[in-house]
Structure 1
Amino acid sequence: MDQRNGISQDFFVIKAKENGVHVIGLTRGMDTRFHHTEKLDKGEVMLAQFTEHTSAIKVRGKALILTRHGAIDTDE
């Protein structure tokens, strides 16, 4: 994993398989909070990465998530 300033340079892809897929970014630090939300419609693709502010991503809905570790299908 390539890192600069403590930020992962690895990207991951989220492809919506239905309308209304929510992608929610969660903060780092003592208190974990929602800090960003995106709504994807069927066929839309989002490229994302973890940052100094984002420690986790929550995906709600049917989607395909592609990472360097493999593919995750939320239908399964």
Structure 2
Amino acid sequence: MSNQNDFFVIKAKENGVNVIGLTRGSDTRFHHSEKLDKGEVMIAQFTEHTSAVKVRGHAIIQTSYGTINTND
């Protein structure tokens, strides 16, 4: 994402979807995690501390670049 103000949306399609934030810098580390249940939606953005997000489980991820379905 080119702009740190860009938001993305994660919608859980099953219970127990994990969303994990990874730090920015020379050492990439886990710094935050959330567990979503079916139908729950999380709106998030990249920050000066978050450079990547890992999604584990069946979910739909919407960004300004398009929609990604983790079932594919």
Aligned-CA RMSD value = 1.3
Q: Would you say 1:10 and 2:31 are equivalent positions?
A: no
2:64 aligned residue: 68
The alignment partner of 1:14 has SS state of strand
The alignment partner of 2:28 has SS state of coil
The alignment partner of 1:47 has SS state of strand
2:47 aligned residue: 51
Q: Would you say 1:39 and 2:32 are equivalent positions?
A: no
Consecutive unaligned residues in structure 1, runs of 5 or more: none
Q: Aligned in 2, Cα 1:73/1:9: closer, same or farther, shift over 3 Å? A: same
Larger radius of gyration: 1
Moved over 3 A (4+): none
User: What is the TM-score normalised by the length of structure 2?
Assistant: 0.96
Identity %: 75
> How many equivalent pairs are there?
72
Query: Per-residue CA shift, 1:25-46, capped at 9, x if unaligned?
Result: 0000110000000000000000
Consecutive unaligned residues in structure 2, runs of 5 or more: none
- The residue identity in structure 1 corresponding to 2:34 is E
